[in-house]
Structure 1
Amino acid sequence: MGKIIVGKVSDIPSGKMQKVSIDGRDILVANIDGVFYACDDTCTHAGASLSEGALEGGVITCGWHGAKFNCMSGKLEKFPAKIRDLKSYRTVIESDNVFVEV
């Protein structure tokens, strides 16, 4: 498992999220009250980019069909059908840099 730098702390303000590509996979990095979380960016329902959806209090809502995922754990929170959870990744802050462990 390695650490990949995905940006500076200041690149992702509190309450915002950003998509990054690491080794060919799209990962969403979110800042929830100064704590950074990372999970897959692709919705497990129809493949939408979750970073194009909405983030509210740690819950990502897919812009296509409204699936809701907890960005801290990757767990599905709400959707009419059962779909897979997202893979989540550990984040590390060193100096002013945000790293994701993959």
Structure 2
Amino acid sequence: MGKIIVGKKSDLLPGSMQKVAVDGRDILVANIDGNYYACDDTCTHAGASLADGVLEGGTITCGWHGAKFNCMTGKLEKFPAKIRDLKSYQIVVESDSVFVEV
């Protein structure tokens, strides 16, 4: 498993999220109250980028059809149909740099 830098802490303020490309995958990195989390950026329902959705607390709501995922665990929280959870990734913070482990 390797660490790949995704940005600086100052680039990802509390309550914000951003999409990054890591080894050919789109990963969503979110800052929730100063803690960083990462999961797949692609909604498992219809393929929308979750970075285009809304982050409220630890929940990401997909902008296309409203699927709700826990961005800390990748688990589906709410949707009318059963869809797959998201893969989650470890985050490592060193000094001002944020890394994702893949």
State the match for 1:14 in structure 2. Answer: 14
Match of 1:91 in 2: 91
User: 1:7-60 CA distances to partner (integer Å, 9 max, x unpaired)?
Assistant: 000101100000000011000000000000000000000000000000000100
Residue in 2 aligned with 1:50?
A: 50
What is the total number of aligned residue pairs between the two structures? 102
In the superposition, the TM-score normalised over structure 2's length comes to 1.00
What pairs with 1:63-74 in structure 2 (closer than 5 Å)? 63-74=63-74
**Residues in 1 aligned to 2:37 and 2:51: alpha-carbon distance in whole angstroms:** 13
- Structure 1 unaligned regions, length at least 5: none
Which residue of 2 is the match for residue 31 of structure 1? Answer: 31
For 2:61, the equivalent position in structure 1 comes to 61
Distance in 2 separating the partners of 1:68 and 1:10: 27
TM-superposed CA distance for 1:69, in Å, is 0.1
Q: Share of identical aligned residues, percent? A: 82
Determine the C-alpha separation between the residues in 1 that align with 2:32 and 2:61. Answer: 15
**Counterpart residue type for residue 41 of structure 1:** D
**Structure 1 outlier segments of 4+, above 2 Å:** none
Aligned alpha-carbon RMSD (Å)? 0.3
